[in-house]
Amino acid sequence: MHKYKYFLLLSFIYSSLIGQNTIGSVELLNPQFNQFVSPNASIEILASGFRWAEGPVWVPDLNGVLFSDVPENKVYLWTEEKGLRLFLSPSGMTGHAPHSTNEGANGLALNKDGRLLLCQHGDRRVALLNSPFFETPQYKTIVEFNNDARFNSPNDIVVLDNGDLLFTDPPYGLKEQDNDPIKELPYNGVYLWSKKGEVKLLSRSLTRPNGIALSKDEKTIYVANSDRQKSYIVAFDWNGDEVSNERIFFDAKQINRSGAGLFDGLRVHSSGAVFATGPVGGVLVISPNGEHWGTIRVGKATANCGFDANEEYLYLTSTDVLARIKILKP
């Protein structure tokens, strides 16, 4: 038996014996990893049974984490007090736009007013939840076109300090992806939407732009390319209006031991470290200069991740589960 599989088997047996609902392991590659994750840290399963969990975002007003089940067209809320509850249905496929799948919301974020933004695959737009929490959802379109051409399926989003939005638009919400007859744009892009209502294409160089994140000083944009043939994270210099100096920040070829999944969700820790879901069956922790410090190995494809308000936990959406791991203070 491969030593990794043997280790996971022992971890599962141990967890069963002590009654914990845990999964996976952590892997140290550089001592710097220890400032974030204890070698004995457990990956707790909080909820399970989803088709493809995505987009975790911490909502202070709810004291919990919202996340999507994309194929099921739903958003769920998990809190320490009440566990799992259905939050939105439908979440992103309401018949608003021509569509070839019934997929709902993917990436989620909060705007500067604490209101929920959703990347809606089926509706092919970025939308704002325009109704109170736990009531029948109503959505307001934020952006759905670039030069009169409808987006493919906005996927992930980040909010700038000034309230502007950066988002990615791969074809994953289209049944035939790049060959889908309803695809109106001949590329897959990275965009800026400004509060003035203006849309700007920042880059069309990536084949599958997916997760997106911003450095804490807002001078660097990171974008994951979810393409098995071009598997990497790129970085761009950002001046608040345009990108420049595109370069590979981290390449899958640098990974010493692969696993399930592709580069997908990205989050930047307050220290500047990048937490990236990727082809490791979990989350890579990467230094600001692109060094792989360690891995949170969930053991299955991990779509996205997100911190709570105080960075005490990292929440993980991994295929059919919502999980979390304790994060240390550097």
Residue 3 reports pLDDT greater than 90 = no
Mean pLDDT value of segment 6-35 = 67
**Span 163-179, average pLDDT:** 97
**More confidently predicted of 55 and 11:** 55
Looking at the predicted structure, is the pLDDT value of residue 5 above 70?
A: no
User: Could you give the percent of the chain with pLDDT greater than 70?
Assistant: 94
pLDDT at 20: 54
CB 65 within 8 Å of CB 54:
no
Residue with tokens 């140290």: 28
Q: What is the pLDDT of residues 191-227, one digit of tens each?
A: 999 999 999 999 999 999 999 999 999 999 999 999 9
Residue 320 to residue 300: CA distance in whole angstroms: 9
Length of the chain, please? 330
Strands 232-238 and 243-251: antiparallel
Does residue 160 have a pLDDT over 80?
yes
CATH 3.40.470.10 matches 3-326 = no
Mean per-residue pLDDT, 108-126: 98
**CA 86, 12, 259, 267 torsion-angle sign:** positive
Q: Is 313 helix (H, G, I), strand (E, B) or coil?
A: strand
pLDDT at site 330: 74
Mean pLDDT along residues 156-166 = 98
The yes-or-no verdict on residue 8 having pLDDT over 90 is no
pLDDT at 11 over 70: no
Q: How far apart are CA 210 and CA 107, in angstroms?
A: 10
Cβ-Cβ contacts under 8 Å for 105 (sequence gap 6 or more): 55, 68, 70, 73, 75, 88, 91, 92, 118, 119, 120, 121
- Residue 32 burial by CB count (10 A; 0-12/13-18/19+): exposed, middle or buried? middle
Examine the pLDDT at 19 and tell me if it is beyond 60.
Answer: no
Report whether pLDDT(17) > 60.
no
Structural contact between residues 285 and 294, judged by C-beta atoms closer than 8 angstroms: yes
Place of tokens 């911490």: 58
Using one digit for the tens of pLDDT, what is the confidence trace for 232-259?
999 999 999 999 999 999 999 999 888 9
- Binning pLDDT at 50, 70 and 90, where does residue 22 land? very high
Q: What angle do CA 253, 167, 272 make, to 5 degrees?
A: 55
Considering the chain, what is the average pLDDT of its residues?
93
Res 18 pLDDT > 60: no
Question: For residue range 51-105, what is the model confidence (pLDDT) as tens digits?
Answer: 999 999 999 999 999 999 999 999 999 999 999 999 999 999 999 999 999 999 9
Between 4 and 91, the more confident residue is: 91
